[in-house]
């Protein structure tokens, strides 16, 4: 074997199990942890650790699992019947692999590339044949126990098969193993299923290889890598830990948080230094936030770009929107996909926009709906303005408003419509015809006044 192939790293991720304890119709490994399916975390960690190939074992709900993992460039191997973790690894055909193999459970979403890299480095440095990653935890519960004799690793015993004494051991199997591919090819077929669950346990590899004088080592890691997800409560815990980790990293990079415990930022989100985040903020997807921006409480931002020195006031909801530098939005603004707000523009409370280009220094201060519109620079949109973009023919039509236009309050634009630069629209107008530049347009009923309209009050009745 050349040096290169002996160094090749393959990851086998186990994801065929049913996840009975999740009590959910979704395959366990597809449950989202901090916004992403948990199997994605395991695959990402594998790639970051330099895996040349990732083989995912699929079984329960495999059509769905394949849809999620195959676009990540991994190959799937079916395990039609879930006969245990050793059987699952055999389904990945280890006899066709060269070099080293990392085996990971698909339900450990807190694992990171650096962890896997570390384990592999130790495995290589110590010239191991097989290694298991362990952790010392307070409540070992259902985990397999690491049995040692005078400190020397002996075996892994599953909780269900353990004696009362063995159950007291608090060093546990994290479910991460590293092995030479040749070891897997040789020993996996020899594993038997004579245990409490009548399953083929991968954990039996440890004692078998030790008996055959292979070099087997326990790599002790942190409890973090032992955080597995077997039920909804553990899923919520994993999510909380991932949000906490992200918040800590952002603070290290100079993001200010008043209370990081209530800030939910998905892994994929980027935030510049000097930005301040108030409690109860949720930032998700491909969101990018600049520097020195302030995000007040109860903002929800999804797949949006927010520039520098932007003010997102409380309760603002952004989805697929782009806000340039020094924009102010909210409180309670809703900016929907394909909306772009240019520098120093202001979008006030109870303003909704969809597919709008809103020019520099323009303002829509209150209670407005703009949809399918282009608004120039330094425009004033009065309170209660509506673009009537949706017509009886069920089609959407555009509104175009030039630069420096003044739109009086309570105006409706019946699209399609265009308003030229510097035009003025009188308050309360329903605009149905294009308005040329610099024109005044007023389209409202004339005021009618009838004096002494209210009849004289009746004479008070005599008490007699």
Q: Residues 259-277, buried b or exposed e (16+ Cβ, 10 A)?
A: ebebbbbbbbbebbeebeb
Residue of 44, 85, 298, 399 interacting with ligand UD1 (CB under 6 A): 85
Q: How many residues does the chain have?
A: 464
Residue 217 binds which of Mg ion, ligand UD1, none (CB < 5-8 A, kind-dependent): none
By the rule CB under 6 A, 79 interacts with ligand UD1: yes
Going 69 to 82 to 31 to 260, the CA torsion angle's sign is negative
Residue 315 CB neighbours (<10 A): 18
- How near is the Cβ of 108 to Mg ion at its closest, in Å? 8
Residue 296 binds which of Mg ion, ligand UD1, none (CB < 5-8 A, kind-dependent): none
How, if at all, do strands 36-37 and 32-33 pair? antiparallel
- Stretch of 83-91, 315-323, 385-393, 445-453 lying at the interface with ligand UD1 (CB under 6 A): 83-91
Q: Specify the residue, 107 or 266, whose C-beta has the smaller distance to Mg ion.
A: 107
Q: Is 366 a catalytic residue?
A: yes
And the tokens for 318? 């952004």
- How near is the Cβ of 109 to Mg ion at its closest, in Å? 12
Peptide bond into 331 cis (omega under 30): yes
- Stretch of 138-146, 215-223, 281-289, 452-460 lying at the interface with ligand UD1 (CB under 6 A): 138-146
Q: CA neighbours within 13 Å on the CB side: how many for 211?
A: 7
And the tokens for 183? 């070891």
Residue 35 binds which of Mg ion, ligand UD1, none (CB < 5-8 A, kind-dependent): none
And the tokens for 201? 């346990």
By the rule CB under 6 A, 88 interacts with ligand UD1: yes
| Helix (H), strand (E) at residue 103 | strand 100-105
* Cα 278 from chain centroid (whole Å): 19
Contacts of 376 (CB under 8 A, 6+ apart): 359, 362, 401, 402, 403, 404, 405, 421
| 3-class secondary structure, 212 | coil
- How near is the Cβ of 165 to ligand UD1 at its closest, in Å? 17
Residue of 61, 84, 144, 228 interacting with Mg ion (CB under 5 A): 228
By the rule CB under 6 A, 49 interacts with ligand UD1: no
Residue pair 350/370 in contact by the 8 Å Cβ criterion = no
Q: Specify the residue, 82 or 297, whose C-beta has the smaller distance to ligand UD1.
A: 82
- How near is the Cβ of 213 to ligand UD1 at its closest, in Å? 23
Residue of 49, 57, 205, 321 interacting with ligand UD1 (CB under 6 A): 57
- What would the x/- binding string for ligand UD1 be over residues 220 to 239, using CB under 6 A? --------x-x---------
Residue pair 329/347 in contact by the 8 Å Cβ criterion = yes
Considering only residues 149 to 168 of the shown chain, the ones binding ligand UD1 according to CB under 6 A are 156, 158
Residue pair 345/357 in contact by the 8 Å Cβ criterion = no
By the rule CB under 6 A, 84 interacts with ligand UD1: yes
By the rule CB under 6 A, 368 interacts with ligand UD1: no
Residues at the contact surface with Mg ion, assessed by CB under 5 A: 107, 228
Q: Write out the catalytic residue numbers.
A: 366
Residues at the contact surface with ligand UD1, assessed by CB under 6 A: 14-17, 57, 59, 79, 82-85, 87-88, 105-107, 142-144, 156, 158, 172-175, 201-203, 228, 230
């Amino acid at each position: 074997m050349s040096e290169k192939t002996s160094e090749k790293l393959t990851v086998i991720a186990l994801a065929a199990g049913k996840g009975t304890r999740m009590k959910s119709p979704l395959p366990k490994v597809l449950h989202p942890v901090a916004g992403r399916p948990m199997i994605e975390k395991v695959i990402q960690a594998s790639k970051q650790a330099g895996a040349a190939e990732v083989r995912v074992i699929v079984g329960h709900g495999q059509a769905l699992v394949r849809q999620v993992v195959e676009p990540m460039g991994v190959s799937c191997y079916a395990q039609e019947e879930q006969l245990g973790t050793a059987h699952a690894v055999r389904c990945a055909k280890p006899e066709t692999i060269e070099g080293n193999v990392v085996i990971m459970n698909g339900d450990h979403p807190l694992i990171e590339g650096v962890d896997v890299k570390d384990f592999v480095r130790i495995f290589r440095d110590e010239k191991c044949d097989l290694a298991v990653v362990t952790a010392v935890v307070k409540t070992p519960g259902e985990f397999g126990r690491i049995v040692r004799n005078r400190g020397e690793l002996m075996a892994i015993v599953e909780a269900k098969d353990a004696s009362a004494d063995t159950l007291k051991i608090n060093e546990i199997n994290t479910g991460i193993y590293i092995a030479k591919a040749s070891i897997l090819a040789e020993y996996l077929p020899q594993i038997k299923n004579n245990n409490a669950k009548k399953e083929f346990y991968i954990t039996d590899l440890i004692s078998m290889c030790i008996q055959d004088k292979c070099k087997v080592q326990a790599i002790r890691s942190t409890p973090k890598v032992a955080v597995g997800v077997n039920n909804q409560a553990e899923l919520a815990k994993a999510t909380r830990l991932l949000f906490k980790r992200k918040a800590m990293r952002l603070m290290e990079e100079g993001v200010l948080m008043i209370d990081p415990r209530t800030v939910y930022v998905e892994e994929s989100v980027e935030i510049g230094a000097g930005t301040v985040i108030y409690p109860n903020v949720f930032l998700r997807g491909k969101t990018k936030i600049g520097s020195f921006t302030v995000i007040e409480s109860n903002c929800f931002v999804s797949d949006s770009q927010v520039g520098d020195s932007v003010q997102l006031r409380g309760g603002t909801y952004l989805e697929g929107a782009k806000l340039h530098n020094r924009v102010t939005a909210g409180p309670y603004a809703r900016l929907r996909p394909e909306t772009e707000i240019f520098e120093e523009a202001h979008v006030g409370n109870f303003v909704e926009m969809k597919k709008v280009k809103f020019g520099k220094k323009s303002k829509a201060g209150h209670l407005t709906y703009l949809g399918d519109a282009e608004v120039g620079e330094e425009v004033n949109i009065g309170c209660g303005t509506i673009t009537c973009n949706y017509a009886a023919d069920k089609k959407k039509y555009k509104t175009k408003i030039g630069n420096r236009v003044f739109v009086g309050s309570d105006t409706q634009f019946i699209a399609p419509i265009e308003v030229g630069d510097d035009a003025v629209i009188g308050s309360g107008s329903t605009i149905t015809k294009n308005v040329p530049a610099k024109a005044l347009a007023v389209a409202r009923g004339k005021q009618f006044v009838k004096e002494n309209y209210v009849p004289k009050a009746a004479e008070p009745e005599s008490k007699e």
